[in-house]
Amino acid sequence: MTTPITVIPGDGIGPEITAAVLSILEALDCGLVFEEALAGGPALAEGLDLIPDATMKQISNSVATLKGPITTPIGRGFTSVNVSLRQQLDLFANVRPALTVPGATSRYADIDIIVVRENLEGLYAGVGHMRSDDGERAELTSVVTRTGCTRIVNYAFALARRLGRKKVTAVHKANIMRSTSGLFLEVARDIAPNFDDVGFEEIIVDNCAMQLVMNPNRFDVLVTTNLFGDVLSDLCAGLVGGLGLAPGANIGDGLGIFEAVHGSAPDIAGKNIANPTALLLAAAMMLEHLGMTEQASRIRVAVRTVVGSGKVLTPDLGGNASTAAYTEALLRHLL
Ligand SMILES: NC(=O)c1ccc[n+]([C@@H]2O[C@H](COP(=O)([O-])OP(=O)(O)OC[C@H]3O[C@@H](n4cnc5c(N)ncnc54)[C@H](O)[C@@H]3O)[C@@H](O)[C@H]2O)c1
């Protein structure tokens, strides 16, 4: 039996790292069939819409999509394809694990934190964008719903239970943002007792940022609203050696888009030095989502072996290997 997977290579370093990851998935020979789709700049360059209908249809009909990064022009041009895909497909949970890869240079040796970020609401929902004509005033509205908070907090607790994790920490700013963050915290407090096998704590976001830097091992699963989750998950990526190692999954009902946390890295695009590991670990999350845990584990073992040996590393990990050479090393260690 074959499983169709939509692949969006994206732009910038996207096509390079996607090709690397597909070569590894193909070597695993687990019955996946890859169907490419366009979105963002590459779609516009072909004279298509930013997110063509065909792409939306293809993603909706696939149980999983593997997506490369897509550039969003700053302050002008089109709005984020990533945000639009999440909103249009109702991908409400953004799951970003930060797990130490032995051998990767980082400040801590044993990080294992999962950030569960609400993916659709808050300040990223694009509600009420306004710039006054005189350029003096700008506004943006944050909308948080009880339904959205309930869905993400339940998801985080259920994930913690499924993975045998000990604690969920709700990250908020309810002392200042009493309406939005207050609602999120109220919902988290209400739901926590339903999961009495998982611990619960709450923490204010600024303290959380400091604690993550000073004492990250006190955290297990973090659940938070959209903006806080975006920032804190990059911080967590920094704890394990940088964006090149940080995968993410956007999850909805029966749908998932799996991607690296990082962006299109235009500064290194086309140089054959991008690290494909984050997208590869996202592919491992995708395999797990599809029930292929053994193949997911083979990917993680290969990454740990290659990075741990320290011989063939891309520049972001302190080496001088090309994307192609690093991918070859991974393929050699795919047991
Ligand atoms: N999900 C997505 O598609 C996504 C996510 C974040 C940012 N973006 C977009 O990407 C563009 C660039 O964003 P940015 O520069 O702020 O962040 P970025 O993540 O692209 O790059 C930040 C830094 O990390 C490095 N880096 C990132 N990924 C790397 C990798 N795999 N290997 C080696 N080095 C890597 C880059 O070279 C750069 O120095 C923006 O248009 C942004 O909107 C897209």
Spatial contact of 32 and 3, defined as CB atoms under 8 Å apart: yes
Which ligand 1 atom is at minimum distance from the Cα of 73? 41
Please give the distance, rounded to the nearest whole angstrom, from the Cα atom of residue 264 to the centre of ligand 1: 4
Place of tokens 């096509």: 15
Q: What is the pLDDT of residues 79-98, one digit of tens each?
A: 788 889 999 999 999 999 99
Class of domain 1-102+240-335: alpha beta
Q: Is pLDDT at 74 greater than 90 in this prediction?
A: no
Q: Which residues contact residue 258 at a Cβ distance below 8 angstroms, ignoring those fewer than 6 apart?
A: 64, 65, 66, 67, 247, 248, 249, 250, 282, 283, 285, 286, 289
Res. 77 pLDDT band, cuts 50 70 90 = low
Decide which of 3.40.190.10, 3.30.930.10, 3.40.718.10, 3.40.50.300 is the CATH code for 107-238: 3.40.718.10
pLDDT exceeds cutoff 80 at 112: yes
Residue owning the nearest CA to atom 22 of ligand 1: 265
What's the mean pLDDT in 57-75? 90
Q: Find out whether 81 and 68 touch, Cβ atoms under 8 Å.
A: no
Cα–ligand 1 centroid distance for 262 (angstroms): 4
| C-alpha to C-alpha distances, 210 to 14, 116, 148, 173, 230, nearest whole angstrom | 32, 18, 27, 14, 16
What pTM was computed for the model?
0.92
Task: Compute the distance between CA of residue 67 and CA of residue 82 in angstroms, rounded to an integer.
Answer: 10
Site residues for ligand 1, CB cut-off 6 Å: 13, 17, 69-72, 82, 243-244, 259, 262-268, 274-275, 278, 316
pLDDT per residue over 116-174, tens digit each?
A: 999 999 998 889 999 999 999 999 999 999 999 999 999 999 999 999 999 999 999 99
Q: CATH 3.40.718.10 in the chain: give the residue spans.
A: 1-102+240-335, 107-238
Q: What is the mean pLDDT of the chain?
A: 95
